[in-house]
Every structure is written in structure tokens, then in C-alpha cells.
Amino acid sequence: MRGIAASSILRDTVSTRSEDAPVQPNFIYIVADDLGAHDLGCYGGEADVSPQLDRLACEGLRFTRAYSNSPVCSPARFALITGRWQYRLRGAAEEPLGRRSAVLGLPPEHPTLPSLLRAAGYDT
């Protein structure tokens, strides 16, 4: 009988703690590639290129001071997904086209935004 009472108390304690846990905010992280500074309407573009992105921008958070430190898209995406300067880690796709290198790619010991979010309990 003592075992049943103890397990009942433990169950109630555990369920209370999980109910008191802070709720993580939901968010959507969107990267739209190959766009200029004023290609979208929400940033002053006149062409109706992406009305859905414009609608999301009007309803959500919009960044107005973002800069890329690379003229090539792959290194810029690397920086966004890892939070690291792409020049500090060889293999961030800064190799000249056609040149073969054994170090291209991201070593598994470097965390990425999706892996950190998964570890924090988010679905990615």
C-alpha cells in the first residue's frame, strides 16, 4: 500500500512541475535566397514578386538593418545557420569554383541553429 501512495504522490508532483514549465514561443525562421535589398514589396519593391512574404512581413517582425559579409549566397547561409563568421572556418564554401578541397563542408562538432533548436525542444 505504501508503494501505491508514494507513486501517486510522485505522479502528482511530476505532472504539476511540467504544467508550471514556461511555454516556449513559436516562431518561423524563413530564409529567402537570391533577393536584393528592395526586391520585396515590404521593403519598398514595386514588383509583385512575393505577396505571401510581403503579407507575413506586415503581420510579423521585419528586420531593416541586415547586412551580408559575403557576395556569394552559400557562405552567407552558412553564417545564418551557424552564427559564425564563415571566414573563421574553412569549408564555408569560399573555395574558388572548380578547386577541389577535402575540407569543404561543416564538421559535425560545430552546432547549427536547427540542432540547437532541436536540443531546446523545438521541432525542426
Separation between Cα atoms, residue 94 and residue 70, nearest integer Å: 9
Give the amino acid at 122.
Y
What's this model's pTM, rounded to 2 decimal places? 0.57
Q: What are phi and psi of 19, to 5 degrees?
A: -70, -30
Q: Do residues 110 and 82 make contact, with C-beta atoms less than 8 angstroms apart?
A: yes
Residue 2 C-alpha cell reads as: 505504501
> Could you report the per-residue pLDDT of 65-102, keeping only the tens digit for each?
877 778 777 788 888 888 888 777 665 555 555 566 56
Q: For 19-28, 49-58, 102-111, which range has the lowest pLDDT when averaged over its residues?
A: 102-111
Average pLDDT over residues 97-115: 72
Residue 37 C-alpha cell reads as: 535589398
Is the pLDDT at 18 greater than 90? The verdict is: no
- Mean pLDDT (the chain) is 74
Separation between Cα atoms, residue 92 and residue 70, nearest integer Å: 11
- Split at pLDDT 50, 70, 90, the class of 38 is confident
Q: How much of the chain exceeds pLDDT 70, in percent?
A: 69
Q: Do residues 68 and 76 make contact, with C-beta atoms less than 8 angstroms apart?
A: yes
